Amino acid sequence: MRKHTTLYLYELAWMLPSVALPVGMLAALAVTAFGAHIGLPGEAGRVDPAAVMQTAPFNQPGVVEVAPGRYEAHLVAGIWFFLPAEIRVPEGSEVTFVATSKDVIHGFLLRTANINAMLLPGQVTRVTARFDRVGTYPFLCHEYCGIAHHTMWGKVIVEPRS
Ligand code: CUA
C-alpha cells in the first residue's frame, strides 16, 4: 500500500510540471502578444510582384519622415540586393520598414533591432523598430534565394542628432 502511494506521488511530481510548463508558456505568449505588443510582422497588403518598381511606395525606395522622429523605409528586395541598401535616420527614430520582394522569397534580418521577417513576392511586410543608439546596423537576407544569397545585405546608419 505504502509502495503504491510513493509511486503515485512520484508520477504526480512529473505530471505537474508537464502541465504547468505549457500553461506557463501560453500565459507568457498572451502577456507578450497583448501586453507588450510583441508579435510577428504582419501582412500589410498585396502588390503585383511583376510591377513592384512601378507601384507606390516601392517606385521610390528610400526613407521618408512621416512624423517628427518617425520614419518609413520603403524597401525592395530582389536577387541579390536591397533597395536602398543604406538607410540613414537620426538617433531616437522609430522606423517602420515597409518591404516586399520583386522576385523570389527573401528574408529581412536585423538582429540588433529584433527584426526577423520574410519578404514574399506579392505581399507587403510591415515591421517597426526603434533606433536609440548611434551606430551602423547591418541587415541581411536570411532566406536562401540563389547563388549570390550571401551577398544580399544592407545597413541602417543611425546618425547623431545635431
Ligand atoms: Cu535574398 Cu537570400
Predicted confidence at residue 147, as pLDDT, reads: 95
| DSSP, residue by residue, 37-66 | ---PPEEEEE--GGGGGGSTTTTS-EEEEE
pLDDT tens digits, one per residue of 75-128: 999 999 999 999 999 999 999 999 999 999 999 999 988 899 999 998 999 999
According to the model, what pLDDT value does residue 49 have? Answer: 85
Q: Determine whether the shortest distance from the Cβ of 144 to ligand 1 is under 6 A.
A: yes
User: 5 or 129, which is more confident?
Assistant: 129
Residue having the nearest C-alpha atom to atom 1 of ligand 1: 106
Nearest ligand 1 atom to the CA of 101 is 1
Reported pTM: 0.78
pLDDT score at 7: 67
Rounded to the nearest angstrom, the distance between the alpha carbon of 119 and the centre of ligand 1 is: 9
**The ligand 1 atom nearest the CA atom of 145:** 2
Residue entry with cell 540613414:
88
User: Rounded to the nearest whole angstrom, what is the distance from the C-alpha of residue 149 to the centroid of ligand 1?
Assistant: 4
Is pLDDT of 14 > 70?
yes
Residue 142 CA, ligand 1 centroid: distance in Å: 6
pLDDT band at 133 (very low <50, low <70, confident <90, very high): very high
Q: How many angstroms separate the alpha carbon of residue 147 from the centre of ligand 1?
A: 9
In this structure, the dihedral spanned by the alpha carbons of residues 123, 128, 133 and 136, taken in order and rounded to 10 degrees, is 0
Would you say the CB of residue 151 lies under 6 angstroms from ligand 1?
no
Q: What percent of the chain has pLDDT over 70?
A: 93
Q: Name the band, by pLDDT with cuts 50, 70 and 90, for residue 41.
A: low
d(CA 102, CA 110): 20
Pocket of ligand 1 contains residue 99 by CB under 6 Å: no
Tell me the pLDDT band of 39, cut-offs 50, 70 and 90: low
